[in-house]
Amino acid sequence: MSRLGLGLAALGRPAYINLGREGQLPRVRSVEAMREACRHVLDAAYDSGIRWVDAARSYGRAEEFLAGWLADRPHRDVTVSSKWGYAYVADWRTDAAVHEVKEHTLARYGTQLEETRKLLGDRLGLYQVHSLTSDSPLLADVRLHRAMAEVAAEGVRIGFSTSGPGQADTVRRALELEVDGRRLFTAVQSTWNILEPSVGDALREASEAGAHVLVKEALANGRLAVQPPAELSRQAQARGVGTDAVALAAALSRPWADTVLIGAASVAQLRSNLAAADLRLTDDDLAELTGLAVPPSRYWAERAALPWN
């Protein structure tokens, strides 16, 4: 359980692209109903041994929900990570034309850091650039680098998350950034799953260089639980667990994966996910799952087509 973390993308806002949320969330997704659902999952995750929680400014009210939960609980052993760069603009509507807007600028960083600190205070342990890509202006913005380095000097780890078919290139380029001879980023969060494992070698290199590696979207935004390939279903049936558990176990089998995030929308989904901690996949199992990988361009095109609901 020490290598599993809880991501709040599916719990902090009423709409998201994850499949399998229907029937798991409150029938009426009001702020208070979603807050209560989030608290139930956080309690269950903590009771199960999870000690890492990941949020973002764009996850609706996820930081607010998490801050309230932390204030009501005596848990000082929870590592909190969050992200800046996207702003949530859907105003709690499930039918909004646009749900979030990305901007990797010094102004956005300053605004969102202040917002995050107002909610999470000294509980913030890792602050990450949200969905960094190789064409982001951030990579050449020296003033922004220095601003992030100032926070790192205060004891908050600075990292970045990645998305898109060029994740490996982004990871390698970002980890080369330095401020006054010190590496700027000491953590990286990337999408890795059995359908899209292309960033694996870059994450291994990051781990060897001392960065903390987090895996996100290990269930491919719920696709591996709701629409699993036949090979994954067979392995799950043979073990008497859900396909979600096997897919998560595949991520946990990567020695460079320090923290594997799960995005459960309910306590039931969480408990199904947690079965991964007890699974040990054989080399033959992993080889079969490796054969399910698709070209990154195809994977990210299919992900982009997922509806917000």
pLDDT tens digits for range 136-184 = 999 999 999 999 999 999 999 999 999 999 999 999 999 999 999 999 9
- Residue 218: phi and psi, rounded to 5, are -65, -20
Residue 129 pLDDT class (50, 70, 90 cuts): very high
C-alpha closest to that of 247 among 221, 212, 211: 221
pLDDT at 285: 98
**Ramachandran bin of 121, using left for φ above 0, alpha for ψ from -120 to 50, beta for the remaining angles:** left
104 neighbors 137 (Cβ within 8 angstroms): yes
Whole-number pLDDT of residue 307: 96
Split at pLDDT 50, 70, 90, the class of 234 is very high
Q: Please tell me whether the overall predicted TM-score, pTM, comes out greater than 0.85 for this model.
A: yes
What's the pLDDT at 44?
A: 98
